Amino acid sequence: MPGFQLDVNKTADQETPAKVAANPLGRKSPKMKFILALSMFCLASGAVVKAAEVLRPRGVPLSKASFYDPTRDFNCLDGSGTIPFAYVNDDYCDCQDGSDEPGTSACPNGFFYCTNVGHSPLNIPSSRVNDGVCDCCDASDEYASVSNCVDTCRELGRAAREEAAKQQEERLKGFQMRQSMIEEGRKRKKEAEVKIDELKKEREEAEAARNEKEEIKKLVEEPEKEALEKYNAIEQERKAKADAEQKAKEEAEAREAFAHLDNDGDGILTVAELQSRQTFDTNRDGEVTAEEAKFYLRQEETMDLETFLVSGWPMMRPTYKMDQRMFVPPTTEAPAEALTPPPVPGSEGKDEQQGEEDEHFDDEDFDTGLDPEDEGDMEEDDGIEDYDLTEDDDVEDIPKEEEEEEIDQKYDEDTQKLVDAANKAREDFDEADRRVRDLTRELRSLEETQEKDYGPEEEFRVMDGDCYEYTDREYTYRLCPFDKAVQKPKSGHGEIRLGQWGEWSGPEEDKYSRMKYTGGQTCWNGPARSADVHIYCGVETRLTGVTEPNRCEYLFEMTTPAVCTKPEDISGDEGTPHGHTEL
């Protein structure tokens, strides 16, 4: 005979759990006696049991009780066969789906239903029936084992109900807070609209003022321009003169050098003449070879004065002038020979030393291709004092200060007045223009805010402008909703951008439960960082955790009242988070 159990379905006239507990089957109340009698009738008559009380084999949930009619053969629930009812719970698996053995562990794929009176019912794999482990809080899964399982459903049920009530209360509180967030969000939206209108007006006025200033500026700049034109003409003339003088000076210098290098004075520079000058020893081997000399003669055997002025001198000038610079003539009237490259102090006559000096010059004059720091090191190592070649080149140019003084002309009184008036008009215009730009910027930023989606009831708007932090072992994470997500290593290194506000990314029916921040700093050899924010109901807006489930993909968990929906009233049915409670 299948193991039967009597269950009490929840109806308006049910026995209270306390009463059921106080009336074990041995001593039945008149009502229980009636129920049993009715059950016996049902068994005898084969009627379908649809009463408040249901007899059913062990391990069968109420919802399936009607399939287990002891007056008929049992049809496996998957339709895989029909067996005599006596085979139900006979500890032998007959049906493929295990539905004939709901109360034993005979079928590997079957399920045992714990009624768990006082707490939530539970389906467990039937392999756990009588395995010595208490799975059901009412101990019904261990009816034939030696385990000492006791019924703890009432205590557990009470604790669960208390917890559910607490959660319910939190939800309610969160829901009420959400109403305030909505109110505040709507208020801010209206304020922003008003502000935008104000700013638009202000900007219109500012634009009008700027246009006016622009007109004034144009008006006073015209006479200023005319007045300055004559000064510009003077200045241009001065500059042209200075340029011509400079050019003439340079040419004279070139001619002088030519005369100096042209040993025999025949008006032609030769390879031999250059070979007689140590300064052209390019590779510093102590000897000026014909190739080295020809380099300066543009690969020719000779060079006349004209070619020298155009292309020879520009090439030789740095080397030649360097020699001159280092040479301190013994008398003011230095003989031509004295212009030969001088020896480095303390190493007179040593060709190698001379080479080093020239090398030093080259380092200064030409790009070494090295990092300036490295170059600095090099210079330190060679132990030779620096020469400022720029200064050398400018030796004969007009000194800077003097030049500036010349440019900084004094205008006549009338011109000066025009310049001052124009300067003032320019300043006024710049200021008016700046104001227009500032207002435009402010307006744009407010308009952008108005375009953001702060939730169906503006409930998230109050979060814009705030930031929330969460710190774990390595990093402090910061989320500034509708703006950005960042990660700051505790080690003190700089912040890493994890992403900019992107969009709401929850599922269609719950879009506002997730946020997406994208386009963060690119991972080494990987994608740009991004962050998902999962939002749960809570009485406080805060981050409750941050993880990195995939490299450079971050998951922020956050609670906020903004997503707290109105809780269902559970006070009447003593519900639990798991749903229906068997009492």
**Which residues bind to ligand MAN, rule: CB under 6 A?**
487, 496, 523-524, 548, 551-552
Token pair recorded at residue 178? 């959400």
* Residue length of the chain: 583
Q: Is 223 helix (H, G, I), strand (E, B) or coil?
A: helix
Percentage helix, strand, coil, to 5, in the chain?
50, 15, 35
Tell the smallest beta-carbon distance from residue 467 to ligand MAN (Å). 18
CB nearer to ligand MAN: give 474 or 540.
474
Q: CA 497: distance to chain centroid? A: 2
User: Taking Cα atoms as reference points, which of 471, 472, 452 lies closest to residue 461?
Assistant: 452
Under a CB-based contact definition with an 8 Å cutoff, are residues 5 and 56 in contact?
yes
Q: Beta-strand (E) ranges in 378-425?
A: none
Separation between Cα atoms, residue 29 and residue 42, nearest integer Å: 20
Under a CB-based contact definition with an 8 Å cutoff, are residues 57 and 3 in contact?
yes
Tell the smallest beta-carbon distance from residue 523 to ligand MAN (Å). 5
User: Taking Cα atoms as reference points, which of 382, 405, 491, 440 lies closest to residue 207?
Assistant: 440
Neighbours of 298 (CB within 10 A): 12
CB nearer to ligand MAN: give 151 or 553.
553
Tell the smallest beta-carbon distance from residue 447 to ligand MAN (Å). 34
Q: Is 327 helix (H, G, I), strand (E, B) or coil?
A: coil
Tell the smallest beta-carbon distance from residue 484 to ligand MAN (Å). 15
- 484 - beta bridge partners? 480, 500
Tell the smallest beta-carbon distance from residue 552 to ligand MAN (Å). 5
Q: CA 379: distance to chain centroid? A: 44
Under a CB-based contact definition with an 8 Å cutoff, are residues 582 and 120 in contact?
yes
CB nearer to ligand MAN: give 45 or 491.
491
Residue 472: phi and psi, rounded to 5, are -115, -160
CB nearer to ligand MAN: give 4 or 475.
475
Under a CB-based contact definition with an 8 Å cutoff, are residues 345 and 326 in contact?
no
Tell the smallest beta-carbon distance from residue 520 to ligand MAN (Å). 9
Tell the smallest beta-carbon distance from residue 532 to ligand MAN (Å). 14
CB nearer to ligand MAN: give 168 or 487.
487
Cβ contacts of residue 335 below 8 Å, gap of 6+? none
Tell the smallest beta-carbon distance from residue 5 to ligand MAN (Å). 56
CB nearer to ligand MAN: give 357 or 553.
553
Tell the smallest beta-carbon distance from residue 503 to ligand MAN (Å). 22
Separation between Cα atoms, residue 416 and residue 413, nearest integer Å: 5
CB nearer to ligand MAN: give 383 or 549.
549
Separation between Cα atoms, residue 498 and residue 551, nearest integer Å: 12
